[in-house]
Amino acid sequence: MFEDDISAAMPVLRNGGLILYPTDTIWGIGCDATNETAVQKVYELKKRSESKSLVILLADVKDLLHHIANPRPDIADIIAGFTRPTTVIYEGALGLAPNVINEDGSIAIRIVKDPFCRHLVKRLRKPLVSTSANISGQPSPSRFSEVSAAIRNGVDYTVKYRQEEAANHLASRIIRINKDGSIAIIRD
């Protein structure tokens, strides 16, 4: 199924390289979210300003405790209630490359249910950057065939799994959990 892709992606990710992969939403560029040099390569490839932070993927809600200073006590219940991929912006990022964190100290995290992404993150044992596989300002690729040559040529490994899929995928919903615990919808 996708075991060969996971095995091939591991040394690339562990050595600070970039992968092109299908996420639980659209095609993305990924790297180890704790490796500042790898994160810098993502910004350079996308021609994106470092002032725009990146999304990271985690496999389990319990992993939030390693990367968020004060998660809401009911965060697991909130995430369990999501009916589609939802990225949550949290205050107080911890244990991540400084250049993956927003200037205000917040971090955008999505807990993935997609089997491929979960296996990838679990095997890496670190949070995984997930940013749309496009040059900044260009449309986000909803399927592999829409990924530009510049992006395909700029990564160290391209996942083969799901390349032939014809279905269009949508970007995730984005919500923010504010300091007072209230929730704001950023992108629905």
Q: Are strands 55-58 and 107-111 parallel, antiparallel or unpaired?
A: parallel
pTM of the entire structure?
A: 0.94
Contact 54, 42 (CB under 8 A): yes
What whole-number distance in Å separates Cα of residue 10 and Cα of residue 122? 11
CATH for 153: 3.90.870.10
What whole-number distance in Å separates Cα of residue 103 and Cα of residue 27? 26
Domains in the chain, number: 1
- Rg over CA atoms, the chain: 15
Q: Are strands 128-132 and 27-30 parallel, antiparallel or unpaired?
A: antiparallel
pLDDT in tens, the chain (188 residues): 789 999 999 999 999 999 999 999 999 999 999 999 999 999 999 999 888 889 999 999 999 999 999 888 999 999 999 999 999 999 999 999 999 999 999 999 999 999 999 999 999 999 999 999 999 999 999 899 999 999 999 999 999 999 998 888 888 999 998 878 889 999 98
User: What residues make up the domain containing 78?
Assistant: 3-187
Beta bridge partners of 90: 107
